[in-house]
Amino acid sequence: MSEKEKMLSGALYYANDSELIKERIECKILCSNFNKTDFLQLDERKILLKKILGKVGKNFHIEQTFQCDYGYNIEIGDNFYSNHNLLILDCAKVTFGDNVLVGPNCSFYTPEHPFDVKTRNAALEYAREIKVGSNVWFGGNVTVLSGVNIGDNSIIGAGSVVVKDVPKNTVVAGNPARVIKILDEN
């Protein structure tokens, strides 16, 4: 099994594998080109994002700057909007449903490092998927950690650190984020 296959399966993998380094460099070049593109060149920016991302829905917009590791592990649904400074470490799949709004300076981290120092120092890590439902709104400066599922119609308060699953129809906030309000499903 290649290191890439291990990474995608959620197993421990060697992060400094030459194939993975090559793919990260290629993605970072595309992200750099996107970030340097004049903000009025919307068509060129969309073309670059379609090259970077694994799947895009209809009517999406990502403000500059945008950074990710591989790109092909990111899927966005219809009507996706992200404000400035979106960071997605996509060693595992990161999926966004439809009608998702992401505030400025938000980060989504799929990789995790082992607690055992010898394993960690050997550049071994693993990654867990992040799933975001539809109709979700992230306030500014939110961080979502690996393995988290965020339910439909949820709101993530500004500055939150999301370390566990978020039920649908809730408002969560804080560090760590916790439910502060249940929303009416209607």
C-alpha–C-alpha distance, residues 154 and 136, integer Å: 5
Q: Which domains does the chain have, with CATH numbers?
A: 3-182 (2.160.10.10)
Pair of tokens at residue 88: 């997605």
Q: Which residues carry out catalysis?
A: 113
Predicted confidence pLDDT, tens digits, the chain (186 residues): 999 999 999 999 999 999 999 999 999 999 999 999 998 999 999 999 999 999 999 999 999 999 999 999 999 999 999 999 999 999 999 999 999 999 999 999 999 999 999 999 999 999 999 999 999 999 999 999 999 999 999 999 999 999 999 999 999 999 999 999 999 876
* Stated length of the chain: 186
Helix ranges, the chain (H): 3-9, 18-36, 42-52, 117-121
Residue 184: the pLDDT is 87
Q: How far apart are CA 90 and CA 20, in angstroms?
A: 12
| Residue 52 vs residues 65, 147, 166, 167, 170: alpha-carbon distances, Å | 14, 22, 28, 30, 31
pTM across the whole model:
0.96
> What per-residue confidence (pLDDT) applies to 185?
75
Q: Are the C-beta atoms of 159 and 142 separated by less than 8 Å?
A: yes
Element (H, E) at 141: none
pLDDT of 126 reads 96
Give the C-alpha separation, 149 to 95, whole Å: 10
Which run of H or of E encompasses 177? strand 177-182
